Structure 1
């Protein structure tokens, strides 16, 4: 009897992970990718001697990557290595306050107390509350399908349901934080975690206060070869398992017969398959690949509010800055106004929070000697027809002015080269509808349940993985989506 065949649409991190898991299950797996490279958002670029990780730059929960190698019977260290960060991130406030988020919880809490006067016990209690939310939600909301009855018939789910009031889903993240802390700088600090899944802390449920636990308990890490080495190592593992990657091949259609996925059509050729897994944004999966089957479209899901997007400047900087680290945050002077502009006005505040990632701090050959590679990002709304050329022009000037003031040097004169990624180019490069990085937003109390499922309930043999479906965006959740999807495959 021949082995079963699986086709994965898209070589994003979830698509690669799904291919690995299906190969381990005994499937012959073909991955079709429209771009000439793997990784989707987790890719890289080189500009005039500066190497940049193009997308995600924070690495947490490395055990989810290791798990794929172990599942395949391989030693992860033969493929992929990483180191834990002693300093998770450095923070800069407009009033001159500077915070260093150390990996050690008590040291981190003391740092905050010394800078803000907030009691150390308050910080530790807050992180303990974050851990409680994680322990209640992780095995139910993140590691299993929320769209299968069997999930709710398990004893572990029942126990979690009894504790649901403790996950604080009925008030906003911001309201929870302002009740916890007196200092506005700390409220702004912890509100920022809503942006980790493209949401608004003034609307998203306080359940998202689980996110600090992932960073401050499990820690932040740096892959030895940069973030793209996550992609390249998993591609190598997949190839070692017999997975075939075909690049520069855009899937045109998912072939259905009697509501059964029978394969895909690529350049007019039908590729038969027993299972089809789409790592493409669900909006484009339906609108492009299932355009002939409008009756199968989940209209309500496709009309949900999209997550925020990003405007990224990749700058080669002609000097080094000892006061900066791998991860750096420069806060806005007005937290409320910043989110109001993104979520209500569909534009960018003149003083946005700026994130800078400098991988050359840990991987020196990412920049020429005496230089640094700056990945400079601000949160922006998803594309809705804004004048992005004008927004980019104004944002560049405002960011350079802000950084120059805080760092005491004219940044504009240090930029040796530049590349830009905006919502329009994010959509074109990664098929993320409107350039939204995380699919739909989490600005709803029921957001976890409203995300698209990992298995079609209308088409047999059709599955979904990636940031636009359950459990959400970001590397850890994308890897979990691949796990959930593969477990749903019969």
Structure 2
């Protein structure tokens, strides 16, 4: 009889686990509280004809995503069209702007124009970043991180010093560049990892390679096309999806999950993989079976929450790129408001995505689709009035840069999304948007464990466990959890055969 596995949540890590476990021949059931897959990468359409991605919009590390599909004999091109953006993005400063070109050779020319010698320094930086990327994304991140012993391979030992694990990212960048704009540009990618560049290990220059060198891409139809592709793939492998199904309790008997209560009904499973918020999943267990106490979570450094606006604009906006970063103010001031002061920023930085510049299908004709995102502290109080205040600030800065006027009067669709929405939609701890920050004290085996230490057949996956936040890491996390489940089930099966 086939072993059956329950997966809680149909985000990236849940879909990834579902594909790998179904491919191995297990009976896989995925339970998702929403009416369609995606988690934070859901999508919605409006009656006016706008199509909004609700979460991720930066398609970086395309080789990692491609690797997932190749494990099943597919290519991403079997499911969606991927286009390379040129420029990759534009960064707005108080005294000018920088457009980041598609090709690394053109980036070197740009850097040299801004700072003498910086072109050669960029080449050196990227050579080192490529090494970190190849070791980090192929050796480090694929470990379940149950013990430091996993990292005792000759290859990892040999490369340890070159990975700059003990140098902080800001200090590392300053070795290569002195121009403030170039420094900010090189520091920006690690903001996705949820902490100040002062607190992120220099190892994560691999992000610069995975983005700038491998390019920034966009799946036509929106980022949700990746979710639809993964859902289709897992379904083809035999996984069954149950939408509008909320897991309400995890029952434990004799140190094992005995059943799940889902929509008030009881279901029995041999193994459970929780792709839901780690902290929330633990609240579904009796306290004695939880890996971590409330105090443990309180002491963790979480990646930010954010204020998001989805806007449908009934006019084309000139001089705006697909991705634009509004960094006219000091980066550290905004970061301090998130991590030190835990308050709404006085001089906010924000990000604007306008996918209608690339994809006519996400907005009506002669209209624009805008996604505005401003990082915030977790646990912050938010209401409609304060959201509107920051919307007005962001719109005025877009007007200043693009030359358009009265942008607010041209909004025909508007929806805001903030910390409280992350809690209600995703049970996200503190309303976090990206998971745990990748600080040195929260890296590898220092992250929350992928396996429950007291319940032998319960596993966790996603951005609050290894390897960390981001789309490619979440996909990898799903594979790691699936591998651990397979090991457990094969070991159990061998034990049964041996005893017969």
1:264 aligns with 2:260: yes
1:209 aligns with 2:205: yes
- Structure 2 residues without counterparts, runs of 5 or longer: 488-500
Query: What's the TM-score, normalizing by structure 1?
Result: 0.93
Give the equivalent residue in structure 1 for 2:291. 297
Structure 1 position 260, deviation (Å): 1.1
Structure 1 position 43, deviation (Å): 0.8
1:309 aligns with 2:305: yes
Q: Is contact 2:318–2:403 with CA below 8 Å preserved after alignment? A: no
Give the equivalent residue in structure 2 for 1:330. 326
User: Deviation digits for residues 155-203 of structure 1, max 9, x if unmatched?
Assistant: 3xx3323432322232322222233211111121122222112222132
User: Deviation digits for residues 4-44 of structure 1, max 9, x if unmatched?
Assistant: 10100011111011111100010111111111121001111
Question: Which whole-Å CA distance do the structure 2 matches of 1:249 and 1:233 have between them?
Answer: 21
Q: Is contact 1:99–1:115 with CA below 8 Å preserved after alignment? A: no
Question: Which whole-Å CA distance do the structure 1 matches of 2:86 and 2:382 have between them?
Answer: 41
In structure 2, relative to structure 1, the CA distance for the partners of 1:270 and 1:353 (3 Å cut) is same
Higher mean Cα deviation, 223-232 or 277-286? 223-232
1:250 aligns with 2:246: yes
In structure 2, relative to structure 1, the CA distance for the partners of 1:95 and 1:8 (3 Å cut) is same
RMSD: 2.1
Q: Is contact 1:301–1:451 with CA below 8 Å preserved after alignment? A: no
Q: Is contact 1:358–1:375 with CA below 8 Å preserved after alignment? A: yes
Question: Which whole-Å CA distance do the structure 2 matches of 1:15 and 1:446 have between them?
Answer: 22
**Structure 2 counterpart of 1:353, from 349, 352, 363:** 349
1:119 aligns with 2:118: yes
3-state SS of paired residue (1:350): coil
3-state SS of paired residue (2:41): coil
User: Deviation digits for residues 333-376 of structure 1, max 9, x if unmatched?
Assistant: 21221111121111232332221112212220211111110111
Give the equivalent residue in structure 1 for 2:495. none
Question: Which whole-Å CA distance do the structure 1 matches of 2:132 and 2:87 have between them?
Answer: 24
Question: Which whole-Å CA distance do the structure 1 matches of 2:209 and 2:66 have between them?
Answer: 20
Question: Which whole-Å CA distance do the structure 1 matches of 2:149 and 2:79 have between them?
Answer: 36
Give the equivalent residue in structure 1 for 2:196. 200
3-state SS of paired residue (1:41): helix
Q: Is contact 1:360–1:366 with CA below 8 Å preserved after alignment? A: yes
Question: Which whole-Å CA distance do the structure 2 matches of 1:59 and 1:431 have between them?
Answer: 25
In structure 2, relative to structure 1, the CA distance for the partners of 1:75 and 1:215 (3 Å cut) is closer
Q: Is contact 1:437–1:473 with CA below 8 Å preserved after alignment? A: no
Q: Is contact 2:382–2:419 with CA below 8 Å preserved after alignment? A: no
3-state SS of paired residue (1:345): coil
In structure 2, relative to structure 1, the CA distance for the partners of 1:66 and 1:130 (3 Å cut) is closer
Structure 1 position 421, deviation (Å): 1.0
3-state SS of paired residue (2:105): helix
Between the two proteins, the alignment pairs up a number of residues equal to 482
Question: Which whole-Å CA distance do the structure 2 matches of 1:275 and 1:362 have between them?
Answer: 43
Give the equivalent residue in structure 1 for 2:228. 232
Higher mean Cα deviation, 328-337 or 278-287? 328-337
Query: What's the TM-score, normalizing by structure 2?
Result: 0.91
Give the equivalent residue in structure 2 for 1:105. 104
Give the equivalent residue in structure 1 for 2:496. none
1:402 aligns with 2:397: yes
- Structure 1 residues without counterparts, runs of 5 or longer: none
Question: Which whole-Å CA distance do the structure 1 matches of 2:237 and 2:102 have between them?
Answer: 36
1:368 aligns with 2:364: yes
Q: For 1:1-400, what aligned pairs fall within 5 Å after superposition?
A: 2-47=1-46, 48-74=48-74, 76-96=76-96, 98-117=97-116, 119-148=118-147, 151-153=150-152, 155=153, 158-287=154-283, 289-290=284-285, 292-299=286-293, 301-303=296-298, 304-384=300-380, 386-400=381-395
3-state SS of paired residue (1:419): strand
